[in-house]
């Protein structure tokens, strides 16, 4: 009896072993074509499925998936995988996953690689871009825009206005968040971290440096010394001229040009009538001529700009062009030639002292010598003066001394052909406009009058 029981037990044990072996073999063979239990790809369980079944399950779930976009707790939009044009790109990965699994192992443990997020999804970029743009455009309506920190101007100084973190969504960041959620198998997409962010903050080193430079410039005082006048450029004026643009301190060139032009209009003497104290007729008004000075605005502009940007108090005289400028503002000075047409007389003053006084002959009434503040701009010996007579014929007059004083041919010269000077002689025997001077006197005029001397004709 005992032997029979032992036999039965032995047979039972062998059968159990055979059954377990058969199960083991079946399982090993089965999982050579199926995924191990609990195998997951992108949060989808594909355990016990074949490659084709897993691919189909993943694709179906992907296409039917709904992706919901939230800004914190507020739902913004929903879209399906089909609308996004999603498709599987996991074929190679699934095959590799199956090839690497141990079908003969009883363990259902899935490797870290198999459960990690994989780039197994293709997204139609055009569909995604269109969806994101529409969502962002609608969501941003009425939201606060983000702004960078910037320099602002106060009355006499500058400061940094802090950046503003707005609530508008950044389209690129939203797209990235959606793509990440799709790849990771997430259906809820949180967008509260995708706001447009400021690129320049109040802690920006360059911004702080520029504000310091601006305030140094804004506290600068400038002084112009101009023709005996002292003109102050105040900090308030400079502050109104400077600004912060494209990362640098800028001086408004138009404003500076207008300022210099204003100084020129107020103080320059070029192209301006003069009040002149004459020898015989008291104070007379002499029309503008070629004599006079002005501010060379185009040349002075960069110099004044540089002085302002230096951020230090400065004193300078603007760049001058023309003739007659003096620091005391006298313009005509005390060396000049005075031509009184009414009295037909000419005086030469050198350093305030009368050196020559002589009768002259000016132009005939129909060819009157033009009045104006002129200037001796050249001196020539033994010249031939050419022009037209009253009847239209040509003339050529040889002179020993020639001193042109305007740009049309007007000048002072000797006139040996004149038999008389002064009085009313000019009415019948006057010149073509020049100032005829007795030869012996003209020699002295030529000798003592330097180029650049003003000639006042009135």
**Is 15 a residue of the active site?**
no
Three-class HEC string of 228-257: CEEEEECHHHHHHHEEEECCEEEECHHHHH
Look up residue 152 and give its two tokens: 């602002």
Quote the CA–CA distance of 221 and 206 in Å, as a whole number: 25
All residues at 6 or more sequence positions from 165 whose CB lies less than 8 Å from its CB, including other chains: 146, 195, 197, 198
Name the β-bridge partners of 402.
Answer: 380, 413
Which residue, chain included where needed, has tokens 């320099």?
Answer: 151
Q: One of 15, 34, 413, 429 is an active-site residue; which one?
A: 413
Determine contact, residues 400/443, Cβ cutoff 8 Å.
yes
Q: One of 15, 34, 429, 434 is an active-site residue; which one?
A: 434
Three-class HEC string of the chain: CHHHHHHHHHHHHHHHHHHHHHHHHHHHHHCCCCCCCCCEECCEECCCCCHHHHHHHHHHHHHHCEEEEEECCEEEEEEECCCCCCEECCHHHHHHHHHHCCCCCCCCCCCHHHHCCCCCEECCHHHHHHHHHHHHHHHCCCCCCCECCEEEECCCCEEEECCECCCCECHHHHHHHHHHHHHCCCCEEECCCCECCCCCCCCCHHHHHHHHHHHHHHCCCEEEEECCEEEEECHHHHHHHEEEECCEEEECHHHHHHHHHHHHHHHCCCCCCEEEECCCCCEEEECCCCCCEEECHHHHHHHHHHHHHCCCCEEECCCEEECCCCCCCCCCCCCEEEEECCCCEEEEEECCEEEEEEECECECHHHCCCCEEEECCCCEEEEEEEEECCCCCEEEEEEEEEEECCCCCCEEEECCCCCCCCCCHHHHHCECCCEEECHHHHHHHHHHCCCCCEEEEC
Determine contact, residues 57/39, Cβ cutoff 8 Å.
no
**Dihedral through CA 288, CA 289, CA 295, CA 296, nearest 10?**
140
Catalytic sites, residue numbers: 413, 434
């Amino acid at each position: 009896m005992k032997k029979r029981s032992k036999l039965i037990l032995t047979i039972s044990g062998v059968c159990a072993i055979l059954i377990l072996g058969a199960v083991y073999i079946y399982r090993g063979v089965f999982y050579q074509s199926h995924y191990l239990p609990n195998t997951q790809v992108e949060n989808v369980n594909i355990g016990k499925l074949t490659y084709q079944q897993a691919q189909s399950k993943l694709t179906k779930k992907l296409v039917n998936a709904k992706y919901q976009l939230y800004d914190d707790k507020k739902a913004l939009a929903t879209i399906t995988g089909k609308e996004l044009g999603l498709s599987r790109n996991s074929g190679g990965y699934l095959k590799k996953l199956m090839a690497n699994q141990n079908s003969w192992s009883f363990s259902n443990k899935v490797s870290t690689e198999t459960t990690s997020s994989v780039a197994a999804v293709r997204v139609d970029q055009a569909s995604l871009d269109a969806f994101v743009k529409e969502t962002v455009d609608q969501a941003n309506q009425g939201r606060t825009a983000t702004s960078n920190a910037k320099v602002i101007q106060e009355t006499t100084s500058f400061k940094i206005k802090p950046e503003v973190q707005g609530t508008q969504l950044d389209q690129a960041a939203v797209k990235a968040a959606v793509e990440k959620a799709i790849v990771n198998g997430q259906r809820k997409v949180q967008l509260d971290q995708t706001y447009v962010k400021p690129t320049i903050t109040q802690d920006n080193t360059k911004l702080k440096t520029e504000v310091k430079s601006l305030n140094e410039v804004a506290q600068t005082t400038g002084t112009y010394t101009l023709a005996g006048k002292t003109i102050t450029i105040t900090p308030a004026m400079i502050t109104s001229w400077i600004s912060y643009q494209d990362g640098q301190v800028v001086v408004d060139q138009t404003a500076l040009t207008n300022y210099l032009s204003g100084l020129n209009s107020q103080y320059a003497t070029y192209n301006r009538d003069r009040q002149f104290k004459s020898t015989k007729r008291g104070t007379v008004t002499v029309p503008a001529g070629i004599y006079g000075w002005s501010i060379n605005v185009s040349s002075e502009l960069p110099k004044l700009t540089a002085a302002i940007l230096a951020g230090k108090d400065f004193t300078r005289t603007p760049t001058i062009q023309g003739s007659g400028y003096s620091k005391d503002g006298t313009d005509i000075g005390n060396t000049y030639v005075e031509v009184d047409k009414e009295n037909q007389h000419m005086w030469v003053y050198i350093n305030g002292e009368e050196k020559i006084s002589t009768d002259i002959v000016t132009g005939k009434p129909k060819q009157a010598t033009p009045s104006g503040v002129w200037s001796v701009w050249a001196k020539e010996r033994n010249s031939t003066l050419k022009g037209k007579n009253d009847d239209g014929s040509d003339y050529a007059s040889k002179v020993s001394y020639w001193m042109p004083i305007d740009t049309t041919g007007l000048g002072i010269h000797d006139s040996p052909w004149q038999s008389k000077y002064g009085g009313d002689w000019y009415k019948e025997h006057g010149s073509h406009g020049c100032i005829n001077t007795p030869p012996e006197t003209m020699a002295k005029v030529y000798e003592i009058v330097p180029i650049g001397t003003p000639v006042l004709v009135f």
